[in-house]
Amino acid sequence: MSKFQKMTTSAQNAMIHVMNLNKEDDVLVVTDISTKRIGQAFYNAAIEYGSSAQLFILPEKERPLSEIPNQMSALAKGKTIVINAFKGLSDETPFRVKWIKEIIATKSIRLGHGPGITKSMMTKGPMNIDYKKMEDIADKMIKNLENAKRAHVSAPGGTDIVLYIEDRGFSMDVKITKDPYLANLPCGEIWCGPIESKGDGIIVCDGSIGDIGKVKKPLEINVKNGKIVNIESEDRNLIEEVEKLINIDEEARVIGELGIGLNPGAKLNGIMLEDEKALDTAHIAFGNNIDMIGGQNNSKTHRDFLFYKPTIKITYKDDSTKVLIKKGKFCF
């Protein structure tokens, strides 16, 4: 089997299991020059399955994009599935946020979001797993998080923070089941948008940072009332880079997400699209969470900070407690 056929098979499996692809679907695949073969694999997968499909290539001369191309918005009208398979440029985060908002606002399009997707992801690891088994684990985790009030998140690297998650239900991207119809490709996490005005403690990012990659030295983030108050690291360049990203607007420093990786095939390679899905990891993000249950953060950006081997202790509305994850391992 050729590499392209492997990518096509992988794309079709993901679209069937995660996106609920059916023959009545009309699919739009958004790609770019450097990721065109991956985009074509998704396009071919839809056509071979019997669905309608269209391919749109982002205008390279206009990149990094800050606005949604008019033609792209026009092509999305009437579509039932949109697949984003293009480079994950850090300068394009605001464009991606706008595009996601536009798609989920339709409440009728299932969005497969894969900025930074690579051929390796398509042919190995995270896109070639037992989707049903991963879905079962996601279901068990979400069931155990019902009626949760607080999450105490700690890790060997130094993370020690309490987040408030009452009535902020968890979602999963393992299978699109309800509004908002959004999943990452590759998939493999559960997440929620914690209450934005609460949350105190320290996050020590010793894994990777969205659009920056793996950290050479850990980054310590001090949080008070849900907002970053300062950051510290032995890597001065990293501090400067992160400061720019978390100061794009006022809400870029405000808590946006608690995410937990579930994908046994995902590895840390510096691309957050895959990194955040890896088992034995969790991530906390700052910035936009409007697409999450109860989310109120309307920032132009969204930045993930990942750490290894989390322990997550949940306090429920009845004040009972349960450790759901201990040093990265599920406790059920």
Question: How many CB atoms lie under 10 A from the CB of residue 35?
Answer: 24
Residues 109 and 151 in one domain: no
- At 43, the amino acid letter reads Y
| Cβ atoms 185, 117 nearer than 8 A | yes
| Dihedrals phi, psi of 324, to nearest 5 degrees | -90, -30
Q: Same domain for 147 and 96?
A: no
Residues 20 and 153 in one domain: no
Match 């009845």 to its residue by tokens: 318
Residue 209 shares a structural domain with residue 284 = yes
Nearest Cα neighbor of 254 from 221, 211, 288, 204 is 288
Residues 179 and 308 in one domain: yes
**Nearest alpha-carbon partner for 221 in 171, 283, 273:** 283
Identify whether residues 119 and 221 lie together within a single domain: no
pLDDT of residue 178: 72
**Structural domain range at position 12:** 3-123
Secondary structure element (H or E) that encloses residue 133, with its range: helix 131-144
The pTM is what?
A: 0.90
Give Cα 218 to chain centroid, integer Å: 21
Give the per-residue pLDDT at 76.
96
Nearest to 131 by CA among 263, 281, 23: 263
Residue with token string 């990659």? 213
Amino acid at 272: M
Pairing relation of β-strands 171-172 and 189-192?
antiparallel
Domain shared by 19 and 87, yes or no:
yes
The total of structural domains in the chain comes to: 2
Opening angle at CA 9, ends 75 and 304, nearest 5: 65
Query: Cα separation of 243 and 230, whole Å?
Result: 9
Q: Which of 75, 106, 123 lies at the terminal end of a domain, its last residue?
A: 123
158 shares a domain with 74: no
Neighbours of 45 (CB within 10 A): 25
Q: Which two tokens stand for residue 150?
A: 């607080």
Contact 25, 81 (CB under 8 A): yes
- 165 and 85 both lie in a single domain: no
CA distance 229 to 254: 10
Domain final residue, candidates 123, 143, 158: 123
63 and 141 fall within a common domain: no
Q: State the pLDDT at residue 179.
A: 67
One digit per residue, the tens of pLDDT, for the chain of length 332 reads 899 999 999 999 999 999 999 999 999 999 999 999 999 999 999 999 999 999 999 999 999 999 999 999 999 999 999 999 999 998 898 899 999 999 999 989 999 999 999 999 999 889 999 999 999 999 999 999 999 999 999 999 999 999 999 999 999 999 987 766 889 999 999 999 999 999 999 999 999 999 899 999 999 999 999 999 999 999 999 999 999 999 999 999 999 999 999 999 999 999 999 999 999 999 999 999 998 999 999 999 999 999 999 999 999 999 999 999 999 999 98
Q: Using CA atoms, how far apart are residues 323 and 332, in angstroms rounded to an integer?
A: 9
C-alpha to C-alpha distance for 141 and 258, rounded to whole angstroms: 13
Report how far apart the first and last C-alpha atoms of the chain are (Å, whole number).
39
- Assess whether 90 and 140 both reside in one domain: no
Q: Which CATH number belongs to the domain containing residue 50 in this structure?
A: 3.40.50.2300
In 3-state terms, what secondary structure has residue 287? Answer: strand
Is 128 in contact with 265 (CB distance < 8 Å)?
A: yes
Residues 142 and 100 both lie in one domain: no
Beta strand segments in the chain, E: 26-31, 52-57, 81-85, 110-113, 148-154, 160-164, 171-172, 182-184, 189-192, 200-205, 208-209, 213-214, 219-224, 227-232, 255-261, 281-287, 302-308, 311-316, 321-326, 329-330
Point out the domain boundary residue: 123, 147, 182: 123
